[in-house]
A and B are shown apart, each in its own frame.
Chain A
């Protein structure tokens, strides 16, 4: 049985381009606007959606996503609210995979089994939980796999060849290569090094490898996308939301700003291998 994630990567591959993975913070800047942004992403060119679960203490995120999370929490976002967004999205879109990305505590607090059942029901395809390394696989990774939800692992420049098999062992869906040692939104130091790292990971796994952290423009996407099976864009989309706000409130430009930027970067993704 193929999953939505498998099909999305296969479709991109068939079109001779990387898959375009977009990250938005669930509930930013308010619940209704965030739902409208989410619903607009596939049409704008997103192949896979990472939906951020806001957390009070996002230790691996830069300022832009920190602020996005704070806006979402202030707007009243909760774990149940986020699952509701996915449910709503699924009424009109049965094909675009959704990966929940965040930190462990809100899920632990909710209860792992209860969460997995609700996430499956809502139509979530995968999880990226920043503070659950392979050493803590028994917490959520193994139960998620049993529940039929992919657990997508981050690999980083510090994950050496010796450690890669440990990290990849229970990874499913795809592998997320973090392009740098740093928080979300920092700048990539060397594109060539990213390409080499992707090749190194691919020597250890048949899973698609997506690259994220530091991809900001259509040009970045085209360059990084030459060697990767997918590229992930997040911070600039969250910044696009922030730029349209007036007194912290959404305006009629908010949804359009994200949609236009996704469309622009999608064009870069399409020309990555031409």
Chain B
């Protein structure tokens, strides 16, 4: 179904998904953003570019990522069969590499000689530093000072890959502040610099572009599931910070109404705790930040709140604009998952399946843990296991009192 009723047609020519999205940037950046859009349109239909992406996906990333039946966990939950789409097995340990490869090839096509990126958990920073090493481009990663501390293994990886990591002390020192600083750098060095945004947010065409690069997740998943089970899954679930793994998982299923879709937002200490969570759709309202209109955590005067999540990758007061649209149209159900629920899911997955998930993905898993028991044994739920948890073992160890 690709007709007028399809939910997969966005964005429109103004970069809008309904009222969300757009191009809310300083004039300095506007010409570049228009260039980028032109370049992306050309690349999208260029068989050489598509072949490059395909080749790198197979031989560098290791795609397709497996679809895995989590048998013990399914039995434990006593309801629907639980499946993992294993994006954590990709090179660099998360789905982020899918997007970075697509964008670095674009940056090359545009003749850019320097790459900048923001990162929260460091997964996108690592993936960016990785492709910059491979394609021999200097790169600077902006990372909130708080996140530098709680994701030290990823900081070391980025440095070893040759990236400069710039800690950002403004605000709460998390992803939002890193993005502000990256935008300031971009405005300053717009002539030679490509901003490799890591999530499906920011000014048009980034939300569309990042979604397209990540849509391989859902497309593969659909095919793999059909091969194994001969049908569509009954539900797909993913965690949502900015929402790149989620939109990548969801997009292939948007026009299949028989597939329920759930996005797990960061509920932090609970959505009733003021500024104690990062659930922008459950606890925010539409606003304009970082180039797009979308659901944002903000005070009564339109000042953006910092938010909180145990997971650095979800600790962001906004969300990609397509999710805001899917929230309003109710095609996707967005639910808040607390820090504690995510921690429990993290431990359960580790003990029962021998897979240490990223804290971000553990939020998605917590929703699966709630959902699976409510469905019959003939049903299936697929989680996008977006990243591996190696980076989190130290901070989880601290939370659990295993470390002093």
Binding site for B on A (CB under 8 A): 55-62, 66, 73, 78-79, 103-110, 130-136, 153-160, 163, 167, 178, 181-183, 186
**Shortest distance from the beta carbon of B321 to any chain A beta carbon, whole Å:** 14
Known pairs A57-B176, A183-B187; A105 contacts B288 (CB<8 A):
yes
Question: Which residues of B approach A to under 8 Å, CB–CB?
Answer: 14, 22-32, 170-171, 176, 180, 183-184, 187-191, 287-291, 293, 296, 298, 300-304
How many contacts between A and B, using CB within 8 angstroms? 115
Q: Can you name 6 A-B pairs with beta carbons within 8 Å?
A: A109-B300, A109-B302, A130-B26, A156-B27, A158-B31, A163-B31
Do the beta carbons of A154 and B27 come within 8 Å of each other? yes
Q: How far is the CB of A79 from chain B (nearest CB, A)?
A: 6
> Given A105-B302, A106-B302, A59–B183 Cβ distance below 8 Å?
yes
Which of A56, A79, A107 meets B304, CB within 8 Å?
A: A56
CB distance from A167 to the nearest CB of B (A): 7
Q: Is the interface of A mostly helix, strand, loop or mixed?
A: loop
Q: A104-B288, A105-B302, A109-B301 are in contact. Are A60 and B24 (CB under 8 A)?
A: no
Most central of B22, B184, B189 by chain A CB within 10 Å: B184
Most buried by A among B176, B190, B291: B190
Q: Tell me whether A60 and B26 are in contact in the complex, defined as CB-CB below 8 angstroms, given that A105-B287, A105-B298, A183-B184 are known contacts.
A: yes
How far does the Cβ of B310 sit from chain A's closest Cβ, in whole Å?
Answer: 23
Chain B residues, CB < 8 A from A134: 27, 30
Chain A residues whose C-beta falls within 8 Å of the C-beta of B24 in the assembled complex:
104, 131-133, 136
Q: Check B290 against A59 for contact (C-beta < 8 Å).
A: yes
* Contact residues in A for B300 (Cβ distance below 8 Å): 109
In the complex, which residues of chain B have a beta carbon less than 8 angstroms from the beta carbon of A56?
Answer: 171, 303-304
Give complex CA distance A182, B289 in Å.
Answer: 19
Q: How far is the CA of A60 from the CA of B27 in the complex (A)?
A: 10
Residues of A within 8 Å of B180, CB to CB, are 57-59
| Chain A residue nearest to B304 in the complex (CB) | A56
A73 touching B303, Cβ below 8 Å: yes
Whether A107 contacts B28 in the complex (CB less than 8 A), given A135-B14, A181-B188, A181-B190, comes out as: no
**Bound complex: CA A153 to CA B303 (Å):** 23
Across the interface, which residues of B come within 8 angstroms of A186, CB to CB? Answer: 188
Contact between B191 and A153, CB atoms less than 8 A apart: no
C-alpha spacing A110/B287, complex, angstroms: 10
Contact A133 B301 (CB under 8 A): no
> Closest residue to A160 on the B side, CB-wise?
B31
Please determine whether A133 and B190 come into contact, CB atoms closer than 8 angstroms. Answer: no
Complex Cα–Cα for A60 and B28 (A): 10
Q: A59-B184, A181-B188 are in contact. Are A109 and B298 (CB under 8 A)?
A: yes
Q: In whole angstroms, what is the CA distance A105 to B176 when docked?
A: 15
Checking B188, B303, B304 against A183 with a beta-carbon cut-off of 8 angstroms, the contacting residue is B188
Cβ-defined contact, A106 with B187, below 8 A: no
14 more CB-based (< 8 A) A-B contacts, given A107-B302, A134-B27: A57-B289, A59-B183, A59-B184, A104-B288, A105-B289, A105-B296, A105-B302, A108-B293, A109-B287, A109-B301, A132-B24, A136-B23, A156-B27, A182-B187
A79 to B30, CA, bound (A): 27
Given A59-B180, A131-B288, A183-B184, CB of A155 within 8 Å of CB of B303: no
A158 touches B28 (CB 8 A): yes
CB closest chain-B residue, reference A130: B26
Cross-chain contact A133 with B304 (CB below 8 angstroms) = no
How distant is the Cα of A269 from the Cα of B324 in the complex, in angstroms?
49
The 5 lowest CB-CB distance pairs between A and B, nearest first, are A109-B302, A106-B302, A156-B28, A56-B303, A182-B188
Cα distance A110–B27 in the bound complex, in angstroms: 24
List chain A residues, Cβ under 8 A from B302. 79, 105-110
Q: How far is the CA of A61 from the CA of B181 in the complex (A)?
A: 10
Q: Are A59 and B26 in contact (CB under 8 A)?
A: yes
Contacts of B188 in A (CB 8 A): 181-183, 186
Chain B residues with Cβ under 8 A from A78's Cβ?
A: 301
Q: Is the CB of B28 within 8 A of A136?
A: no
A232 and B190 alpha carbons, distance in the complex (Å): 23
Question: How long is the Cα–Cα vector from A53 to B183 in the complex, in angstroms?
Answer: 20
Chain A residues with CB under 8 A of B290: 57, 59
Q: Contacts of A155 on B, CB cut-off 8 Å? A: 27
Given contacts A105-B288, A183-B184, A183-B188, contact A133 B27 (CB under 8 A): yes
Q: How far is the CB of B79 from chain A (nearest CB, A)?
A: 42
Interchain CA distance A79-B304 in the complex, whole Å:
14
- Could you say which residues of chain B place their CB within 8 Å of the CB of A106? 301-303
- Closest residue of chain B to A59 (Cβ to Cβ) is B183
* Complex Cα–Cα for A155 and B296 (A): 29
Contacts of B301 in A (CB 8 A): 78-79, 106, 109-110
Q: Which chain B residues lie closer than 8 Å to A79 at the CB level?
A: 301-302
User: Which residues of chain A come closer than 8 Å to B183, judged between CB atoms?
Assistant: 59-60
Cβ contact within 8 Å between A108 and B288: yes
Asked if A108 and B27 make an inter-chain contact with CB atoms under 8 angstroms apart, the answer reads: no
B288 to chain A: which residues have CB within 8 Å? 103-105, 108, 131
Minimum CB–CB distance for B283 against chain A, Å: 15
Q: Please state if A135 and B26 are interface contacts (CB–CB under 8 Å).
A: no
* A-chain residues with CB within 8 Å of residue B25 when the two chains form the complex: 131, 133
Complex CA–CA separation, A79 to B298 (angstroms): 14
